[in-house]
Amino acid sequence: MDTFSKRRLIILGIFLGIGAIFIIRLFTLQITSKTYKQFATRNVLRKITVYPARGFIYDRNNNLMVYNKAAYDLMIIPREVKSFDTTELCNIIQLDRIELREAIRKARAYSTYKPSIVVTQISPDIYAPLQEKLYKYPGFFVQYRTLRDYPNKSAAHVLGYVGEVNQKTLEADKYYRPGDYIGVTGLEKAYEQDLRGIKGVQKSMVDVHNRIKGKYNEGKEDTTAVLGNNLITGLDAKLEAYAELLMTNKRGAVVAIEPKTGEIILMVSAPSYDPNLMVGRQRSKNYVVLDRDSINKPMMNRAIIGRYPPGSTFKLANALIGLEEHAITPLDRFSCSGKGSKPISCTHSHVSPLAVREGIRESCNSFFWNNFRLIMNRKGNTADSFQAWHDYIVSFGFGTKLSPELSSEVKGSVPEVSLYDKWYGAKHWNAYSIRSLAIGQGEIEATPLQMANLCAMIANRGYYIMPHIVRAIQTPNREVQTLDYDKKTINVSPENFAIVIGGMQAVVEETKLQFSVKQDKYIVCGKTGTVQNPHGADHSAFVGFAPKDDPKIAIVVFIENAGFGATYAAPIAGLLMEKYLNDSISPKHKDIEQKLIDTNLLDVKEVKKTL
Amino acid sequence: MVEKQENNVWDNVDWITIGLYLAMMLIGWINIYAAVYNEEHKSIFDMTQRYGKQLMWIGAAIFIAVLMINTDSKFFVTFAFPIYIALIFVLLVVLLVGSEIKGARSWIQLGNFSIQPSEFMKMATSLALARYISSYDFKMHDYKSLLSLAAIIGIPVGLIFLQNDTGSAIVFGIFILVLYREGLNGLVLFFSFLISVVFILTMLFDPLITILILSIAALVINYLLKKKLQRTLIGGATFFGIFGVLWGLNYILGGSVSPIFFILIAAILTSAMFFTWAMVLRKHSLAILIGIYLGSVLFSVSVDYVFDNIMEQHQRDRINELLGIHSDVLGTGYNVNQSKIAIGSGGLFGKGFLQGTQTKFDFVPEQDTDFIFCTVGEEWGFLGSTVVIGLFMALLMRIIFLAERSRSRFSRVYGYSVACIIFFHFAVNIGMTIGLAPVVGIPLPFFSYGGSSLWSFTFLLFIFVRLDASRFEQLSF
């Protein structure tokens, strides 16, 4: 033992002294004092998510296409719920008692202390009485939400809709909480990050009577919601609605592009639906109805996922390639024996022999067979010539996705050399084997958007801007950020475009289209197509643009099972261009307009030859 | 026979200490589970949750404990200094490349893990102190020895301060108790105590009041010491006379001189008068009293200056909060207030396991680390809290007992270091949750969530368990 051994007692004394002080202090805190217990019961924290209003969507003329309306979600925190008058609550929120019980059961299964939604999207007129009575229902509270509203009731496919976030997204992205809304299709999906804004959180202290008693921690942990960005699109809301009117009771798609900018002016897929159906408490019911309609497939955007053989409209592309490759000259004439032509018969009798301008005008299959045959001989062997042709076609935008905004867009298809090598064996095929391609049939498939883009490229005489819907993004403080899109230049000389455009002008001015599509004030160029369809009646197609010298709109109209392109597709395109360029329909076309609206082509077995 | 003893170290380990250690770790884990519990992650082995990770760390800690017990005790003696120097080096590295967590640049990032070397520095410093004090030629009050001791403790403190980890740095202050046990003059302890009292008075009121209290105390002690009422009254009259006259003059002349200057002048003049008496009458005790008095007065004034002009706002806030100067419930005192509410709402028996409401809604921040005692208080009530305090007391007394029965000075010094470090953490951490100590963010040993803390305390304790197990061997030089 050393001399300082007794000091251990002092040290032990300090240790035990502090221990004793703590026990005394705990005794006063936990047993003597009542204040802290009262504090604790008052101290109930509620996190309220502040949902920012989703961004608006404007059309090219600053008209609102999508905006928000108010709605309220009734929320529940199960562990705070005391017994309450279910009948009264059910009456207020207009909900069945069984449904309410089920909702509470689900909420409890999810979490007893995290808020869950009991009833979504309560309208403002139900909300008012509910708010007054809410104090009677501890554990319930209301969360403000916004819902989408579509004043024009149109453009459902392009705009897309907003729905509750699914489990997969919840796991992948921590931003979302169950019950949050997210863009599911269309622009709502493509621009989700811009439109959604940033959620805010308000932490409040609430008392036992479910009343907010003030901010938690002086609001230091609150975050404010940031409004979503607005989208400014190149769409024309009025034209979109008009196109949908013309497409009533028809199956097909219409796409129009402003050639100079690549902005999509309208995109219609028919049959369509009112986008307001996909909003609110009835959304899931409506969705099921729309989704199960396997005949009309209203949820499908045919403009970007419809894979159609382009038919005669594709002859424009072949004419450009023939001229550019010097397979033909503008003066080369080929003879046609009408329906008796070999190897591809022509649909009708016309002047013969004929050069490229008349070939386009008459959509002469013989002419384009010869053109295609010569293209396939350019490089010495078919495979190399075909590869050259293939590269032109791809440079025109076929076989590629054009717009990243439209996530469901399909590529269509352009056949490869390898495909024919597989089918026929290498070097065992030639122009004759693949002759359908000469007239846009066979292995080629394109979407209406790709056809519209071809037309825009011709209108621009050699380039196109990647087609897109959104022109600019506007932040909540009104700063506008214009988006840039790639320009693709085509390796075809402007003279050759001029020749093809001459032919397109002849189509409108020298055939029967002069009665329905031709305009007095400006020159319209176009090309009809009648697409053979193994599943039923032919599809009716038309591509065109106007005015000829300063193109402002390039359009494609594709109508399923409607027969000749000249019959339905062309006049609809003509009316849309007229509406867009003149802002009104001239009296002489009113007649056709009404007939087109009234025509029902949904159950066509036999194609009527005349309107 | 000797060989057999060495091989069977497990026969000699102190199972009471080990039992206490395991009990505290288990109770700690249960409370971490309750603190971070939520209904979505119920499995106790869920490694994404903190209780899952803590379970992993407990496993590793037990491994460390076994490893320490199986290490030759001579290793710790021989390598005391190398371990110390190596950790000093690591602290330097942390200063250069460490990552910052909650304002303190004291973490080393190793993949997904962060380790806080300052936690292990306590163990290394204890080893170095034990090694140094147990050396042959050590004399406590030797000038060179004191300097060496100051260096051994001061270097890590300085480095940890530079890491901005004040909490970990002040822990080293507790080594003064170890030195006291080894023969440091009791006056050092007394003055440490006096300094804290003056400090708290200065913070609580201001230097003016503090000096008044000190002066009155000095006069009372003077009277009690010498029983000379007349001299005491003269002293008091002189002091208050000078102070009153100067203050009055300042008031009449409309000056703006702080009254602290006047009371300082009064204190110095009165002291000079007493000092003359002391010299003339050869009263040494009086001279010492005057020295202590004047020192305290000057300390009070300088503390005030440091507080207002040198400290940073968050440090001021915490001190203010501790002393209850600004009782801003939702401001600085928020944590402590929430913590007191949680503990206070526990009552006698507590709300029961997983039934704590305060802990569920994240009212108390750092619920599973620094404020883990809240969960104990809320869910297990006064009884549970008392059990936890009792466990700590039992462990501390057991360590002191083991240290005292040791024949080697090395083991004893190390044992006292272990006890004092655990005690300091215990006192500050629990004191903080019940509003008796400042919020300095140091973990509760064996309870708080976190690998670094648990492992470092395991090292600390089990090196001692190992040293104790070889109490029959000769370790000292």
Pick from B134, B192, B328, B340 the residue to mutate for testing the A interface (most A CBs within 10 Å): B340
pLDDT at residue A208, rounded to an integer: 40
The gap from C-alpha B159 to its chain's centroid, in whole angstroms, comes to 17
pLDDT at residue A48, rounded to an integer: 73
Mean pLDDT of B238-261: 84
A251 and A211 in a common domain? no
On the 0-12 / 13-18 / 19+ scale of CB atoms within 10 A, B250 is: middle
Task: Give residues with Cβ within 8 angstroms of B317, minimum separation 6.
Answer: B326, B331, B332
In this model, does residue A471 exceed pLDDT 90? yes
User: Distance between CA B467 and CA B458 in Å, rounded?
Assistant: 14
Contact B430 A29 (CB under 8 A): no
A259 and A185 in a common domain? no
DSSP secondary structure string, A421-487? HHHH-TT---TTTTGGGGGT-TT-BB-HHHHHHHHHHHHTTSEEEPPBSEEEEE-TT--EEEPP--E
pLDDT band at residue B2 using 50, 70 and 90 as cut-offs: very low
Q: Which residue has the tokens 């109930």?
A: A44
Contact A19 B393 (CB under 8 A): yes
In this model, does residue B214 exceed pLDDT 80? yes
In this model, does residue B4 exceed pLDDT 50? no
User: Distance between CA B378 and CA B357 in Å, rounded?
Assistant: 8
Segment A379-413, tens digit of pLDDT: 888 889 999 999 999 999 999 988 888 878 888 88
Contact A47, A199 (CB under 8 A): no
Rounded to the nearest integer, the mean pLDDT of chain A is 85
Q: What is the b/e burial string over A534-562, where b = at least 16 CB atoms within 10 angstroms of the residue's CB?
A: eeebbbbbbbbbbbbeebbbbbbbbbbbb
Pick from B396, B398, B412 the residue to mutate for testing the A interface (most A CBs within 10 Å): B396
pLDDT at residue B477, rounded to an integer: 45
Contact A22 B181 (CB under 8 A): no
**Nearest CA distance, A142 vs chain B (angstrom):** 20
Task: Copy the structure tokens of residue A405.
Answer: 């905004």
Q: Is residue A90 part of a domain?
A: no
pLDDT at residue B319, rounded to an integer: 65
pLDDT at residue A233, rounded to an integer: 93
> Quick check: B399 contacting A, CB < 8 Å?
no
Contact A18 B427 (CB under 8 A): yes
Residue A469: which CATH number? 3.40.710.10
In this model, does residue A206 exceed pLDDT 70? no
Kindly state the DSSP code that residue A198 receives in the 8-state scheme. Answer: B
pLDDT at residue B349, rounded to an integer: 85
Domain closes at, from A186, A201, A232 = A232
> Quick check: B138 contacting A, CB < 8 Å?
no
Domain closes at, from A214, A232, A250 = A232
Residue A219: which CATH number? 3.90.1310.10
Q: Which amino acid is at B365?
A: P
Contact A69, A231 (CB under 8 A): no
pLDDT-above-90 percentage for chain A: 31
A399 and A278 in a common domain? yes
Q: Which 340-379 residues of chain B touch chain A by CB within 8 A? A: 340-348, 357-358, 360-363, 377
pLDDT at residue A500, rounded to an integer: 93
A256 and A220 in a common domain? no
Contact A40 B341 (CB under 8 A): yes
A430 and A409 in a common domain? yes
C-alpha torsion angle, residues A191, A192, A197, A199 (rounded to 10): -170
Q: Which 104-123 residues of chain B touch chain A by CB within 8 A? A: none
Provide, as residue numbers in chain B, all residues whose Cβ is less than 8 Å from the Cβ of A221.
Answer: none
Could you say which of A8, A31, A218 has the minimum Cβ distance to residue B404?
A8
pLDDT at residue A454, rounded to an integer: 94
Range of A113-122, A599-608, B10-19, B347-356 with top mean pLDDT: B10-19
Contact B343 A3 (CB under 8 A): no
Q: Is residue A36 part of a domain?
A: no
> Quick check: B432 contacting A, CB < 8 Å?
no
pLDDT at residue B311, rounded to an integer: 72
**Nearest CA distance, A127 vs chain B (angstrom):** 28
> Quick check: B161 contacting A, CB < 8 Å?
no
pLDDT band at residue A1 using 50, 70 and 90 as cut-offs: very low
Number of domains within chain A:
2
Contact B181 A7 (CB under 8 A): yes
In this model, does residue B392 exceed pLDDT 90? yes
Q: Is residue A138 part of a domain?
A: yes
pLDDT at residue A544, rounded to an integer: 93
> Quick check: B404 contacting A, CB < 8 Å?
yes
Contact A12 B400 (CB under 8 A): yes
Q: Which of A361, A292, A298 is nearest to A525 (CA)?
A: A361
Q: Nearest 5°: CA angle at A313, between A308 and A316?
A: 135
Q: Is residue A100 part of a domain?
A: no
Q: What is the b/e burial string over A498-527, where b = at least 16 CB atoms within 10 angstroms of the residue's CB?
A: ebbbbbbbbbbbebebeebbbbeebbbbbb
pLDDT-above-90 percentage for chain B: 30
Provide, as residue numbers in chain B, all residues whose Cβ is less than 8 Å from the Cβ of A4.
Answer: 181-183
> Quick check: B42 contacting A, CB < 8 Å?
no
> Alpha-carbon torsion B313, B315, B320, B326, what sign?
positive
A432 and A382 in a common domain? yes
pLDDT-above-70 percentage for chain B: 86
Q: Nearest 5°: CA angle at A295, between A293 and A296?
A: 75
Contact B436 A7 (CB under 8 A): no
C-alpha torsion angle, residues B194, B198, B203, B209 (rounded to 10): 160
pLDDT band at residue A605 using 50, 70 and 90 as cut-offs: low
Tell me the residue length of chain B.
477
Q: Which residue has the tokens 């204040």?
A: A35
Segment A327-341, tens digit of pLDDT: 999 988 988 888 878
Contact A284, A267 (CB under 8 A): no
Q: Is residue A33 part of a domain?
A: no
Task: Copy the structure tokens of residue A492.
Answer: 């075809």
Contact B180 A3 (CB under 8 A): no
Domain closes at, from A232, A255, A277 = A232
**Nearest CA distance, B75 vs chain A (angstrom):** 25
Task: Give residues with Cβ within 8 angstroms of A111, minimum separation 6.
Answer: A78, B38, B39, B40
pLDDT at residue B38, rounded to an integer: 60
Range of the domain at A181: 48-72+122-232
Contact A30 B344 (CB under 8 A): yes
A242 and A228 in a common domain? no
A382 and A463 in a common domain? yes
Segment A167-195, tens digit of pLDDT: 888 888 888 877 788 998 889 999 999 99
Q: Is residue A94 part of a domain?
A: no
Provide, as residue numbers in chain A, all residues whose Cβ is less than 8 Å from the Cβ of B362.
Answer: 45
How many Cβ contacts (< 8 angstroms) between chains A and B? Answer: 118
Task: Give residues with Cβ within 8 angstroms of B308, minimum separation 6.
Answer: none
Q: What is the SS3 assignment for A288-307?
A: HHHHHCCCCCCCCCHHHHCC
Kindly state the DSSP code that residue A199 receives in the 8-state scheme. Answer: -
Could you say which of B342, B419, B434 has the minimum Cβ distance to residue A25?
B434
Mean pLDDT of B378-398: 94
Contact A40 B180 (CB under 8 A): no
Instruction: Look at strands A252-258 and A470-474 and give their pairing.
Output: unpaired
Contact B382 A30 (CB under 8 A): yes
In this model, does residue A39 exceed pLDDT 80? no
pLDDT at residue B402, rounded to an integer: 94
Task: Give residues with Cβ within 8 angstroms of A326, minimum separation 6.
Answer: A378
A454 and A567 in a common domain? yes
Pick from B187, B329, B345 the residue to mutate for testing the A interface (most A CBs within 10 Å): B345
pLDDT at residue A41, rounded to an integer: 54
Q: Which of A125, A116, A141 is nearest to A92 (CA)?
A: A125
pLDDT at residue B234, rounded to an integer: 87
User: Distance between CA A487 and CA A472 in Å, rounded?
Assistant: 17
User: Distance between CA B322 and CA B438 in Å, rounded?
Assistant: 5
User: Distance between CA A600 and CA B320 in Å, rounded?
Assistant: 83
A493 and A510 in a common domain? yes
Element (H, E) at A95: none
Q: Is residue A294 part of a domain?
A: no
A279 and A141 in a common domain? no
Could you say which of A10, A23, A218 has the minimum Cβ distance to residue B389?
A23
User: Distance between CA A119 and CA A104 in Å, rounded?
Assistant: 10
Segment A49-107, tens digit of pLDDT: 788 888 999 999 989 999 888 888 888 888 778 778 888 888 888 888 888 888 888 88
Q: Which residue has the tokens 């071809």?
A: A454
Specify the range with the lowest mean pLDDT, choosing from A400-414, A430-444, B195-209, B211-225.
B195-209
Its pTM stands at: 0.56
A414 and A328 in a common domain? yes
**Nearest CA distance, B157 vs chain A (angstrom):** 23
Q: Is residue A241 part of a domain?
A: yes
> Quick check: B248 contacting A, CB < 8 Å?
no
Q: Which of B191, B200, B217 is nearest to B304 (CA)?
A: B200
pLDDT at residue B327, rounded to an integer: 44
